[in-house]
Amino acid sequence: MRKRILAANWKMNGSKAMLKPFFDQFFKIIDMSSLSSPQHKLYFGMPYLYLEGARSYILNGKITLSAQNCHWAESGAFTGEISPVMLQDFGINTVIIGHSERRQFFNETEETLDKKLHILKKLNMQVIYCIGESLEQKEAKETLKVLQMQLKTLFTALPNKSDLERVVLAYEPIWAIGTGLAATPEQAQEVHRFIRGTIAEAYDIDSAEKISLLYGGSSNASNIVSLLVQPDIDGFLVGGAALKPEEFGRMWRDLSQTP
């Protein structure tokens, strides 16, 4: 059985002062025993500066902390960057890469992602790899072509099926991010099925069946259940709703109760 995953992406939000009230409130809403389920995993993608403070709330590793990006080199003259080795130095072994906001605003390309995938593989780190099409690409009916191109980067950098075991894929249509207009369950399912099929072709059916595919884009406590019942949606990468402890707590409750 593949894992169900709820992953927060706080993006460039939050504060040091917010951590304690957030987690206090979040833990009040959820059933704490659900965090021990081997089938259900909770991640928090935090701004680098807050990762260390958030460590007090991960309950001996029951919650996984993740960075939202990293550099492709282990060290060097890259002013202002954070290397994956530095993340490991702080006990962080998971990184979101390829987020559309990084592609859009920070010149993340297939080439830089390829380099990041290589270093993360070398360091045995877990990757949450994001893909997704823009509104223009969707309207031009290019969704599948764009996703294929983005997936090819992943397949080329990680050619062995054993490499995929450390990858979680997040389909985040750019037109749904932060817009309040989530993909419909049918739309998301259709794309997720396509992604799983593409993985089966690139590796094999077993790998495709094992990988967790997350949906991201205006997911919230009101729409998560209808998305969760889709056979190829295994979880969510959540922006705005993950900053609200009650709402995110309700999302975790629903996800952790879904087999």
List the catalytic residues: 99, 172
What is the distance between the alpha carbons of residues 36 and 32, in angstroms, rounded to a whole number?
8
Q: Which is nearer to ligand 13P, 96 or 202 (CB)?
A: 96
What count of other Cβ atoms lies within 10 Å of the Cβ of residue 47?
15
Q: Which is nearer to ligand 13P, 216 or 249 (CB)?
A: 216
Q: Which residues contact 119 (CB under 8 A, 6 or more apart)?
A: 70, 72, 73, 74, 84
CA 153 and chain centroid, separation: 17
Q: Which is nearer to ligand 13P, 9 or 153 (CB)?
A: 9
Are 212 and 167 in contact by the 8 Å Cβ rule? The answer is: no
In the complex, least distance from residue 4 CB atom to ligand 13P, rounded to whole angstroms: 17
Q: Which residue is nearest to ligand 13P (CB)?
A: 239
**What's the one-letter identity of residue 121?**
K
Q: Which is nearer to ligand 13P, 32 or 135 (CB)?
A: 135
Distances (CA, A) of 178 to 6, 101, 107, 239, 242: 17, 11, 20, 7, 12
Interaxial angle between packed helices 110-122 and 143-157, expressed in degrees from 0 to 180 and rounded to the nearest 10: 40
**Longest Cα pair distance anywhere in the chain, in angstroms?**
47
Are 54 and 44 in contact by the 8 Å Cβ rule? The answer is: yes
For ligand 13P, the binding residues (CB under 6 A) are: 9, 99, 172, 177-178, 216-219, 237-241
Q: Which is nearer to ligand 13P, 12 or 77 (CB)?
A: 12
Beta bridge partners of 94: 126
DSSP 132-145: ---HHHHHTT-HHH
Nearest alpha carbon to residue 188 among 141, 232, 133, 140: 232
Q: Which is nearer to ligand 13P, 125 or 128 (CB)?
A: 128
Q: Which two tokens stand for residue 205?
A: 């059916």
Phi then psi for residue 123, to 5 deg, are -90, 5
In the complex, least distance from residue 236 CB atom to ligand 13P, rounded to whole angstroms: 8
